[in-house]
Structure 1
C-alpha cells in the first residue's frame, strides 16, 4: 500500500482534518490490465468511506467531511 496523495478536509463545524490516500495494485491475470484499489484514511488512522470525490464519511463516527 503506497501513500499517493494528501489533502485537507473540514467537517460541518469547521473542524480541520488531514486525509491520506493509499493505493494498492491488484494482481490481475492479464499483465497488461492493471487495477488499483484506493483507500482513504485520516492522518490519525481512522478509516473514511468516499461518498463522492469531494465528500467522505468517517467510519467510526459517521461524520461527513468535505475536501477544501
Structure 2
C-alpha cells in the first residue's frame, strides 16, 4: 500500500486530526484505506466525513 494523500480533519469538539490515505494497487479498483496518523482506522461516510472505528466519533475534512 502506498501513501497517496494527507489532510487535516476536525471533530465536533474541535479536536484536530491528521488523516492519511493509502491506496492498494494490487486489489482493483484501487481500494483506498483511511487512518489517523496514530494508526486508528477510519470508515469513510462521504468525501468529507469519516468515523473513527474505535470510538465512533465523526470527523470532518477541513
**TM-score (normalizing by structure 2):** 0.95
Aligned match of 1:47: 41
Unaligned runs of 5+ in 1: 28-33
Secondary structure of the structure 2 residue equivalent to 1:35: coil
Residue 25 of structure 1 and its aligned partner are, at CA, apart by: 1.1
Unaligned runs of 5+ in 2: none
* RMSD of aligned Cα (Å): 1.0
Q: How many residues are aligned here?
A: 62
Aligned match of 2:21: 21
Q: Over alpha carbons, which structure has the higher Rg?
A: 1
Show structure 1 runs of 4+ deviating over 6 A: none
Residue 59 of structure 1 and its aligned partner are, at CA, apart by: 0.1
* 1:5 partnered with 2:5: yes
* 1:59 partnered with 2:59: no
**TM-score (normalizing by structure 1):** 0.87
